[in-house]
Structure 1
């Protein structure tokens, strides 16, 4: 063995695929945070504040994807996206009245966007339950006082619910970011393998390719260090950006 010092890191920062993978990772992170939080907040508020019947059933339905393996979810969505007999093209063909055979996973225009629905769908249930638990800890007297003062549902949400569950929202954002930087590997591996032409390449899958397909273990280790540093820096920045005074209920 020959000592090469920081050559793996030098090669990594000269590798254009690394930058492409980083862009894709943060693209997925941004839309996953946005999509999962909006959906989880909506369902959490709907199931706690709107007095819906059968809330237990709806919780089970929304949490169901979390019970499934991410591999199962990815395989399911590959069938949905299949250009020949997939459900999505079938629905579009019915609506448009003409055959549609869009290669959702085989065209770089659509492939990175096609990863978002399964990733968001798989994450909604867990964060919905987390936010439901936080909303249920808010005293009902606060909402009753707001209703007496004439505050409608939106005002109650922005002035009572959201400020009092902000810590849980912040934790949710951090968890989504960390799991995305480290966990996008599985869904990319099953659905696209980083293609076409690295359009869906992410750091986790590139690490796997370098280490276990091309056997460049040192280079793969350098990518692993980069993922760790990005996770720490991104988490620190988010903690600073989302820092707010904690509101305590006496």
Structure 2
């Protein structure tokens, strides 16, 4: 019996060991290195590092740009969660509950932005928002609304909302497909029973669909939050570089500028630690807020 247990534990150990090694090399080691570098003044170009203790963290908490970046990140989180979840859920329900012959075509169309390069997507939307020949301003002129035209990415009030548009556009397809898969697994007998009880489509959605696909909804919301806090900077860097006047600055783009443009890797690493801490805290709060009792079929 003892030998059998030992063999079982050895098998489990050797099964997870390769994954554990890869995780340590690709995740744990870079994180610890980033934390270590945050205590140094280092340009990233020389072998010399000057230990400065928590000076980078003191600088971080007194930096008005990082406060602006944090508020921009969380504003994008709120905008993306609201619009992506509403639009993705709407189309997921429509394409599964209503018999639409073109459903496979719509799936491909909605998912298409997910297979595009971020660089291509950024350049495409820069042309769309171009103040001289962009599609939006030209469309407004054609409708006789020339007074509404503006330099979208160059306007401090409109730059961040404008950036949110391609981020939402790129995120709808993935979460629509995720929710479609969950909705198609809901037994049709539940909808038939609800309909026999006189429940409208709206009531069926809230009383049947939402409770049964809540785990996928929760996963989608958390994934949107994580990717926004950690990944929005790529599009920001391509389209606005954080401008105008830091109006679209997010934590990731500010990290990039400090580390790779200003050659202040120590401070850049400090911003990276901040992103990690805020992401963990936000996900922990969401896990608690979005917790629901599991619905048994």
Q: What residue ranges of structure 2 are gaps of 5+ in the alignment?
A: 1-48
Name the residue aligned to 2:167: 119
Task: Give CA-to-partner distance per residue, 1:194-221, whole Å, 9 cap, x none.
Answer: 0000000000000000000001000000
Name the residue aligned to 2:39: none
Name the residue aligned to 1:142: 190
Correspondent of 2:219 among 171, 185, 189: 171
Name the residue aligned to 1:156: 204
- In 1, Cα distance between the equivalents of 2:208 and 2:182? 12
- In 2, Cα distance between the equivalents of 1:120 and 1:202? 16
CA shift, 1:44, in A, is: 0.4
* Contact 1:90/1:100 (8 A) holds in 2: no
Name the residue aligned to 1:21: 69
Matches within 5 A, 1:50-89: 50-89=98-137
- In 2, Cα distance between the equivalents of 1:101 and 1:61? 28
- In 1, Cα distance between the equivalents of 2:145 and 2:234? 36
| TM-score of the superposed pair, with normalisation by structure 1 | 0.97
- In 2, Cα distance between the equivalents of 1:76 and 1:97? 23
Is 1:40 matched with 2:88? yes
Name the residue aligned to 2:56: 8
Task: Decide whether aligned partners of structure 1 residues 157 and 97 sit closer, same or farther in structure 2, where only a CA change above 3 A counts.
Answer: closer
- For the pair shown, which has the larger CA radius of gyration, 1 or 2? 2
Report the count of equivalent residues. Answer: 249
| TM-score of the superposed pair, with normalisation by structure 2 | 0.82
CA shift, 1:2, in A, is: 2.7
Task: Decide whether aligned partners of structure 1 residues 13 and 152 sit closer, same or farther in structure 2, where only a CA change above 3 A counts.
Answer: same
- In 2, Cα distance between the equivalents of 1:155 and 1:115? 35
CA shift, 1:163, in A, is: 0.6
- In 1, Cα distance between the equivalents of 2:102 and 2:165? 26
- In 1, Cα distance between the equivalents of 2:50 and 2:160? 39
Correspondent of 1:91 among 116, 120, 139: 139
* Contact 1:84/1:101 (8 A) holds in 2: no
* Contact 2:137/2:146 (8 A) holds in 1: no
Aligned CA RMSD, in angstroms, stands at 1.0
CA shift, 1:101, in A, is: 4.5
* Contact 2:140/2:149 (8 A) holds in 1: no
Correspondent of 1:194 among 242, 255, 259: 242
Correspondent of 1:218 among 248, 266, 290: 266
Name the residue aligned to 1:230: 278
Q: What residue ranges of structure 1 are gaps of 5+ in the alignment?
A: none
Task: Give CA-to-partner distance per residue, 1:101-144, whole Å, 9 cap, x none.
Answer: 51000010110110111000000000001000100110010001
Moved more, 80-89 or 95-104: 95-104
Secondary structure (helix, strand or coil) at the match of 1:243 reads coil
Moved more, 50-59 or 205-214: 50-59
Task: Give CA-to-partner distance per residue, 1:150-192, whole Å, 9 cap, x none.
Answer: 1111010000000100110000000000000010111101111
